[in-house]
Structure 1
């Protein structure tokens, strides 16, 4: 069965028009069990985490769920990893709140993306960025990047070559995001070309999930001061219908267009 997707995002919720002959087995997301439904809506977040969100009332619009005994196959194929090596522990205070993604087509756009990110977070928080830790990629070590950080009083911390362990927090977050992305794409065999949308949805979900960095609240609440609502969550890749405005259709044209739900901006 062939399917054609017109990659044209619409409004705040990203929906992509879908042109197929039959949807009998394509991208079907009918789930009757609430526990499994919200496991899928939350991008395959583990059931223990979902239960904690519900018990501590960390979000609005989350129902009562139970922890099932079955294993989620998409979680197995998307999150499987080697056992950790034992290492010495040390105390380190971290204030890691909201998750952000900076997307750009070319690595050369990293500087522009960082300037935009800096302006946004400093305006939202009223605080300034003091330290920036990155690897030694050329996109982070350009002259204009260095001069900008010097002018803004931002101290640079560059990791040693081939030593991602020195930026462990970032590496761990990348792993969490990619695990969720793999699980999202695996469920309905969604094309890997939709990985940017899967990343955006994963970030949206993780900001409304529990974390060890802040207690009894989600990163979104810690960042904005408002308890987030999750009753708008849908399963990534499910069939959705977008309303066609009067200005874009004739009198007898369909008022809705079949799409695939992918993410929120």
Structure 2
């Protein structure tokens, strides 16, 4: 109680304990053995309490959302002391449904699949990230660092020139998100003149 900020006063054989708001919590008289004995009952923490109208739901939560069949098996075979017989539950636990659901598998064959280098290139941008590099660029892309989104078109042009020289192939399809730097008239004319087909994702609407 002292470590919790309470004030302890002893005067004329009587011990007083006050909380931080100076409210009296304890008043204890000194015994014949010169001790101040306090009989206190520790309250049950509310954060560990689970309230439910049905015992099955209560034990389901206490055992970390164990399956109802396994929970009834514990009670039926008396594998846990004090666990009463539990009734079957036909409802679905929302927490289990959200925490144990499985993601659908990916298709074995994608709708669009590139067969050669530069047949399909995906590009994306992000907002500035801190801390910036010494030259003022954000540390997001490993291939090309840009100072702002206005430099995206120039970055794509430089990237295209470099990879086409290195691979000996031409860029066919460029897939980017629906940003203004990817939909500008100037960049559209650039792609059209070089035979690059543009694919744009649907615009994001929150």
TM value normalised by structure 1? 0.27
Asked which structure has the greater CA Rg, the reply is 2
TM value normalised by structure 2? 0.35
